[in-house]
Structure 1
């Protein structure tokens, strides 16, 4: 355990790894991260699985068995991904037990092609929870319009949820409302609220990428005025999200649920790998330190924080006025916040869907290659 990562954890930030592969599981590398770098959770997404399975490392035997059975490519992908998540859940189970279910979590996402279909998303969430069959699994549901009621319905069944692809402050408030509505319905059914957990994955670096692209496209005079605003939007957005979290958890509605044993839906900082090489590679870690949050990091960001991250305490609370000023200044330049976050949501769903289709395609090719030859 390193000093920087320990300090981060001591400040109330749960460190999760944004990656998973069969090799990481079987080699013991995942266990080492838990023991040595204070990692207490794992997140996955279609892009992560596409890269892992396409590498072929560790999946040959299972693919050959699936090919021999003649399963569909859809079934093969689900069998492979849920096996990885199940094994990772087993590795993290001691953390789940020792933290009362708060950490030791592994996330798996519903088929991204269902992102706008409420009923199908709920059905898929139930199926994934059944397939993984581990109490420390989190089912990831995107925060699309169709995803919001799916979040409520899934929580109401007692399934814990990682809400993903949140970019806007308005949508984040809707996510928190959907979670509370699900808890209220679960309570009405007599379910134990203390067994239901959720995180809300608020995406960070992609916000700077899109805002900075639009700043660069401004005319010369405006671009000069905007220089000081580059790479400010993502942190401002995330910090105001935490302010919203504080407001919601201070309200009477939440207090009533908490008295019934409900767990707060922690803000999770996602997409924390820096996209612009000119920025500090730990920017979205050191500048988003606040109690009761999660930061899910790609391994490169985890290692950078381990090596030279400077954790100076809470860098979120007390920053709200400056964050609002930064977003207001960008709006005065004619850059539409609403348009940026909608573009990012649409792109996020499209990127995950493309990764899923690539995964299906590469898995199908392997199944055909390994299929038993006819006599």
Structure 2
């Protein structure tokens, strides 16, 4: 059942789960996935927590009742609940963290998405989350918006490990890697142990095909149809090319000599949206050493059941073909720059909407559990 996942892991791809909930923790499911499915990390985002807390009948009731009695704000309540889940997940994965010398066994928690365009507030929130969760195997997620780049550099400079999220464009990815190196240089100057700083760059995959295929469908030509569902993998291939270039540079070598570890590319949004496609597509075609693939459980199970791992047969050595796929978009009147900007804007908006929905849900729950008739004396 897990041979394909083991092969994937053996090829140098760290398997992370793109989901977390209190039920997954209390049932022992996360521990089972670590034990049986080669899962060595967990990512979360506002949408995941909205589904976990909003869709749970009673898993969070005890904590919500205590928070209501204390009279905390809804923002504090949400942070206390999400931090508790991340903290417990980090404890489940602590043996993986120790065995991998801090490379894996990581759990991510994201800054408030409403701060995506506010650099100082993002920095402050990232530091607060690192303090609140208080586990060495935590990654603080910061979006790769223009305002996010200086925040990434600043937070890494403080010695905090970071998961950079919502990366769609190759230009922005290069900016992310530059921010990572700048942060490490600052951390070194500040006396931090660079070997203790971990980072991943979450490059979103399936959403690229979703947006581009939608535009190709409108053309309704045989040529446009033939071009569908190719851009996402090509975009990821070119991201890996950029990764290889940056992490073989003299600037990087100087940091590596000081103990730094590369910022790994993380393939995110790897659940296949188009039912006509192979449901393991964005896993089996994105195999390359030193990468992470974070999967929803359905994708994880699909790979375990029928994924065919062919090794690094698609990514390295095929960069010219990947560039040709991206260049071809212009012949259809599709602007790559517009696509990736739309996806970034939508990504932030979707997370903001999920966060607002989560706040509304928790507001209602706090009201339900609030003490009736005042406080006893």
TM bracket, shorter-chain basis: over 0.9
SS class of match (2:93):
helix
> Match of 1:207?
208
Q: In the aligned structure 2, how far is the partner of 1:217 from the partner of 1:151?
A: 38
Q: TM-score of the superposition, structure 1-length normalised?
A: 0.98
Q: In the aligned structure 1, how far is the partner of 2:255 from the partner of 2:27?
A: 42
SS class of match (1:51):
helix
What is the deviation of 1:316?
Answer: 1.0
Aligned ranges 1:39-54 → 2 under 5 Å: 39-54=39-54
Q: In the aligned structure 2, how far is the partner of 1:18 from the partner of 1:211?
A: 24
> Match of 2:278?
280
Q: Does 1:149 align with 2:118?
A: no
What is the deviation of 1:281?
Answer: 0.1
What count of residue pairs does the alignment treat as equivalent?
Answer: 372
Q: Does 1:122 align with 2:100?
A: no
Q: In the aligned structure 2, how far is the partner of 1:374 from the partner of 1:113?
A: 35
> Match of 1:305?
303
Q: In the aligned structure 2, how far is the partner of 1:225 from the partner of 1:79?
A: 52
What is the deviation of 1:241?
Answer: 0.1
Deviations 1:240-270 (A, max 9, x none): 0000000001110001110010010000000
Q: TM-score of the superposition, structure 2-length normalised?
A: 0.98
Counterpart contact for 2:217–2:225, Cα < 8 Å: no
What is the deviation of 1:84?
Answer: 0.2
> Match of 1:36?
36
> Match of 2:333?
334
SS class of match (1:301):
helix
Q: In the aligned structure 2, how far is the partner of 1:153 from the partner of 1:41?
A: 24
Q: In the aligned structure 1, how far is the partner of 2:149 from the partner of 2:329?
A: 28
What is the deviation of 1:271?
Answer: 0.1
Aligned ranges 1:224-373 → 2 under 5 Å: 224-314=222-312, 315-373=314-372
Q: In the aligned structure 2, how far is the partner of 1:98 from the partner of 1:156?
A: 26
Q: In the aligned structure 1, how far is the partner of 2:67 from the partner of 2:276?
A: 45
SS class of match (1:281):
coil
What is the deviation of 1:329?
Answer: 1.0
Q: In the aligned structure 2, how far is the partner of 1:60 from the partner of 1:319?
A: 52
Q: In the aligned structure 1, how far is the partner of 2:141 from the partner of 2:112?
A: 10
What is the deviation of 1:33?
Answer: 0.1
What is the deviation of 1:224?
Answer: 2.0
Calculate the aligned-residue CA RMSD, in Å.
0.8
Deviations 1:36-66 (A, max 9, x none): 0000000000000000001224101000111
Detail structure 1 runs of 4+ shifted over 6 Å in the superposition. none
SS class of match (1:217):
helix
Deviations 1:134-162 (A, max 9, x none): 00000000000000000000000000000
Q: Does 1:110 align with 2:111?
A: yes
Deviations 1:278-337 (A, max 9, x none): 000000000000000000000000000000000011031112111111111111111000
